[in-house]
């Protein structure tokens, strides 16, 4: 599929020829006319390079994953046709369309499917059809051939050169174990509390584990070896109670009093560092040099991670999507649509991290999902002519730069390694290379 924009055809009458210039200036005009003709041939007379588009088939509701130079498409169950889930692996070359590497049928599964590639192994995790909520199973496949390998209960997470499987069985008992991705051999295993483990994610996957029981007993474990790094009861003498726990940076954060209190503990010794009294805190995230806390009803605070003191707050900001070079890209919720044909996306704003001061309003965009932390920020929205505008969002320059306008595309895009994959109006997926 190629698109060439020929502009607008007009049928205006030809203009009257201009009067002949005096002979003394005719030669420069002739030279200018020749120069303009040459420029027309170089810049306008030759069609622009055609946009290379690859169409990849996919059923409605298919899950799409990008990993390195691979595109994986997991088609859903089709009860009417009596077919199960089908996984198709494509290689995305430097030039040309994606090429099918292999396809394979997956074990019966329901929703909540996700996929990761660890070295030469592809791991697909899915919820069991008709099974209890939160009960998953992981299937390992050879990345080169698609041949099925081991299967084990649990949902998979990358962790360095290995894989963590978080399992919750039908009795409610849980466990966390590290397995070798190629063989499925268990390297270590620990039981987990009823609400599961708290995991911290870094560039290579899980790099921190905290197990917090309602009794107040807390364990910090190493993801590589499973060894115990620290252990302590952080609420000695108190009755058991359920509290929300998160690992952010080098802190264990405990949200209590129905979101009215956040207490920070150091991960190295589990010593209490500070307590912040806020209101209706839903969750917290790492925001570069700051700690961001989000209100359940909207709005946020920027906290000093060393003391818990509030640096600034804003009732409009909903979430910090990326922190980069002293600036945040924040969502301010659903803003006004940029065209009457577009109802998705969020209003995105660049703010100064230290003060919360607004630097630039980038407009309403739907962010493409990215697989890698340093991926380019790509936004999409519908233009008035029905095409999907694709823009790169630049925090440093505090601007959005439209890089393409794609015809026949619904949205729901993903990006990785300068490749953009979006769902098409007519079904299936379209693959572009970002300029």
The greatest distance separating any two alpha carbons of the chain, rounded to the nearest whole angstrom, comes to: 105
pLDDT value for 37: 37
Low pLDDT (below 50) residues in the chain:
1-50, 337, 339-343
Q: Do domains 203-315 and 325-435 have the same CATH topology?
A: yes
CATH class of 325-435: mainly beta
Distance, CA of 378 to CA of 166 (rounded, Å): 32
- pTM (2 d.p.): 0.83
Instruction: Please state which of the four CATH numbers 2.40.128.630, 3.40.50.2020, 3.30.420.40, 3.40.50.2300 is assigned to the domain occupying 203-315.
Output: 2.40.128.630
Tokens of 372: 């890698």
Q: Tokens at residue 430, please?
A: 């379209």
What are the pLDDT digits (tens) for 170-226?
A: 666 799 999 999 999 999 999 999 888 999 999 899 999 999 999 999 999 999 999
Please count the residues of the chain. Answer: 435
CA distance 351 to 382: 25
Q: Whole-angstrom Cα distance, residue 159 to residue 187?
A: 13
CA atoms 355, 358, 362, 363: torsion sign: positive
User: What is the SS3 assignment for 35?
Assistant: helix
Per-residue pLDDT, 79 = 63
> For the chain, which residues make up each domain, given as ranges?
203-315, 325-435
Residues of the chain above pLDDT 90, percent: 68
| C-alpha Rg value of the chain to the nearest Å | 27
């Amino acid at each position: 599929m190629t698109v060439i924009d020929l502009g607008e055809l007009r049928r205006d009458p030809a203009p009257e020829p201009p009067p002949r210039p005096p002979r003394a200036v005719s030669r420069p005009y002739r030279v200018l006319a020749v120069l303009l003709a040459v420029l027309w041939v170089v810049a306008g007379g030759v069609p622009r390079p055609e946009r290379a588009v690859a169409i990849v088939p996919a059923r409605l509701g298919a899950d799409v994953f990008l990993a390195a130079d691979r595109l994986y498409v997991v088609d859903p169950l089709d009860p009417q046709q009596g077919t199960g889930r089908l996984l198709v692996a494509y290689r995305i070359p430097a030039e040309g369309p994606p090429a099918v590497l292999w396809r394979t049928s997956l074990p019966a599964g329901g929703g909540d499917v996700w996929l990761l590639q660890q070295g030469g192994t592809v791991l697909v995790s899915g919820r069991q059809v008709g099974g209890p909520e939160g009960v998953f199973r992981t299937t390992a496949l050879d990345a080169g051939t698609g041949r099925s390998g081991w299967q084990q209960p649990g949902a998979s997470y990358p962790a360095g050169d290995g894989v963590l499987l978080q399992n919750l069985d039908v009795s409610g008992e849980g466990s966390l174990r590290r397995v070798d991705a190629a063989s499925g051999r268990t390297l270590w295993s620990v039981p987990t509390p009823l609400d599961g483990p708290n995991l911290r994610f870094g560039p290579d996957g899980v790099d921190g584990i905290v197990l917090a029981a309602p009794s107040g007993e807390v364990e910090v474990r190493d993801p590589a070896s499973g060894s115990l790094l620290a252990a302590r009861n952080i609420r000695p003498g108190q009755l058991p109670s359920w509290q929300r726990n998160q690992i952010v940076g080098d802190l264990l954060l405990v949200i209590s009093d129905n979101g009215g209190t956040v207490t920070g503990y150091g991960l190295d010794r589990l010593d209490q560092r500070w307590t912040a009294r806020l209101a209706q805190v839903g969750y917290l995230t790492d925001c570069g040099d700051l700690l961001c806390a989000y209100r359940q009803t909207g709005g946020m605070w920027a906290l000093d991670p060393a003391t818990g003191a509030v640096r600034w707050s804003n009732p409009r900001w909903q979430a910090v999507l990326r922190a980069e070079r002293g600036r945040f890209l924040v969502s301010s919720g659903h803003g006004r649509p940029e065209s009457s044909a577009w109802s998705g996306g969020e209003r995105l704003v660049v703010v100064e991290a230290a003060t919360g001061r607004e630097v630039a309003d980038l407009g309403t965009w739907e962010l493409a999902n990215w697989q890698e932390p340093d991926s380019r920020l790509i936004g999409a929205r519908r233009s008035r002519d029905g095409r999907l505008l694709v823009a790169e969002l630049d925090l440093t320059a505090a601007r959005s730069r439209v890089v393409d306008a794609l015809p026949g595309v619904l949205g729901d895009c993903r990006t990785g390694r300068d490749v953009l994959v979006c769902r098409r109006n007519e079904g299936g997926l379209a693959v572009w290379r970002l300029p």
